């Protein structure tokens, strides 16, 4: 949950949070997702792709409201630990920034791309990028955008080397607090064709 590292505490409402974050990509959008495996069959990267933004919004909106209501109820009934309260407060700050960016999403599709640091030679990132390109191209889109988290100053050049343009960055409050070092959310764009 923190750049490939587990959280240092037991997150309240973890299963509900996981379902909110991954439910679309592993449910209705699963045909667009991909994983990269090493020789031993261990997952070393993934691409979660959304080629239908309208369907994603219809799926996410009621679930997001239910999650917020449930988390507020847990807060008001003292069922959130201090670390969980801080985590969800930071997530609210990050979600507000994401919402602001999504109103002007630069492309008609989005993706989440992650590769384990042990295999960041480029081949896996390129294969996953090509998968995202293919899924977006098949849907008739001219490109895609996404948010990628990285320790400040560490991934921008690597992304640009594989043809992904970084168009903005903001502090990721949740991961910065969790890791104790500044983490930025890079908004990226990939043009196809």
For residue 79, what is the domain's CATH number?
Answer: 3.40.630.30
- Residue 7 falls within a domain, yes or no? no
Say if 153 falls within a structural domain.
yes
For residue 20, tell me if it sits in a domain.
Answer: yes
Asked if 116 and 45 count as a contact pair (C-beta separation under 8 A), the reply is yes
pLDDT in the model for residue 103: 61
Q: Which structural domain, as residue segments, surrounds residue 159?
A: 14-191
Query: What is the pLDDT tens value at each position of the chain, 193 positions in all?
Result: 667 677 889 999 999 999 999 999 999 999 999 999 988 999 999 999 999 999 999 999 999 999 999 999 999 999 999 999 999 999 999 988 777 766 667 899 999 988 887 886 678 989 999 999 999 999 999 999 998 888 898 888 888 888 999 998 889 999 998 888 999 988 899 999 7
- Model pTM greater than 0.95? no
Backbone angles phi, psi at 139, to 5 degrees: -80, -5
Residue 156 lies inside a defined structural domain of this protein: yes
Does 9 fall in a domain? no
Asked if the structure places residue 183 within a domain, the reply is: yes
- What's residue 102's pLDDT? 60
The answer to whether residue 5 sits within a structural domain is no
**Alpha-carbon separation of residue 32 from 50, 52, 64, 125, 164 (angstroms):** 7, 10, 22, 16, 19
Kindly give the residue spans of alpha helices, DSSP state H, lying in the chain: 14-26, 53-76, 82-102, 123-138, 156-161, 173-179
Burial string for 27-62 (b: 16+ CB within 10 Å, else e) reads eebeebbbebeeeeeeebbbbbbbbbeeebeebeee
Q: Which of these, 167, 61, 155, 185, lies nearest to 107 by C-alpha position?
A: 167
Give the count of domains, the chain.
Answer: 1
Is 4 a member of any domain? no
């Amino acid at each position: 949950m923190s750049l490939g590292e587990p959280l240092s505490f037991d997150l309240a409402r973890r299963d509900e949070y996981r379902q909110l974050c991954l439910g679309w990509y592993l449910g209705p959008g699963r045909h667009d997702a991909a994983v990269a495996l090493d020789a031993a069959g261990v997952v070393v990267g993934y691409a979660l792709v959304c080629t239908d933004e309208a369907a994603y919004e219809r799926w996410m909106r009621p679930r997001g409201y239910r999650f917020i209501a449930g988390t507020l109820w847990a807060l008001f009934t003292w069922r959130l630990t201090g670390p969980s309260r801080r985590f969800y407060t930071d997530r609210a700050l990050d979600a507000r920034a994401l919402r602001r960016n999504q109103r002007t999403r630069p492309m008609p599709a989005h993706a989440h791309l992650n590769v384990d640091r042990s295999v960041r030679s480029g081949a896996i990132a390129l294969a996953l990028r090509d998968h995202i390109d293919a899924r977006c191209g098949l849907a008739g889109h001219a490109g895609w955008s996404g948010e990628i988290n990285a320790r400040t100053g560490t991934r921008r050049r690597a992304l640009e080397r594989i043809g992904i343009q970084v168009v903005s960055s903001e502090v990721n409050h949740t991961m910065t607090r969790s890791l104790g070092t500044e983490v930025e959310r890079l908004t990226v764009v990939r043009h196809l064709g």
